[in-house]
Amino acid sequence: MVTQIFLATNFATQLRFLNSCLFPSWGSNIPLSSSFKYVDASKASILSNLEPFVAMLMGLILLYKPITGFEILGSVLIVGGVLISTYQRKGMVRHNR
């Protein structure tokens, strides 16, 4: 079996690759990093777990990408984990007072 490796030698293809990889990461991580001045890092890290869920929704809204059963399951697990950690943290704060 022969495996072909595609190397992007075209400048436009390389530019698209960088655009699809680097800029979304910078676009989400720079505001997250700058928010640490205003929000506790543990709260910001909980919200950063929603990033795949938001990406799935944006794919649905902007690109009309259908959502699969595994994505729904993953979304339920992500949102559930964020809710559990948020309410668990609020319970710890109340308990410590």
Q: What is the pLDDT of residues 37-92, one digit of tens each?
A: 888 877 777 777 777 888 888 888 888 889 999 999 998 998 898 888 878 766 66
Q: Is residue 40 part of a domain?
A: yes
Closest CA to 83 of 31, 54, 58, 46: 46
pTM for the whole thing?
A: 0.54
Q: Is residue 92 part of a domain?
A: yes
Q: What 3-state class would DSSP assign to 36?
A: helix
Q: Is residue 3 part of a domain?
A: no
Q: Is residue 67 part of a domain?
A: yes
Range of the domain at 17: 11-96
64: left (phi over 0), alpha (psi -120 to 50) or beta: left
Closest CA to 73 of 53, 55, 94: 53
Q: Is residue 1 part of a domain?
A: no
Counting the structural domains of the chain, the total is 1
| Number of neighbours of residue 27 by Cβ within 10 angstroms | 9
Q: How far is CA 5 from CA 8, 9, 22, in A?
A: 10, 12, 22
Q: Is residue 4 part of a domain?
A: no
Q: Is residue 5 part of a domain?
A: no
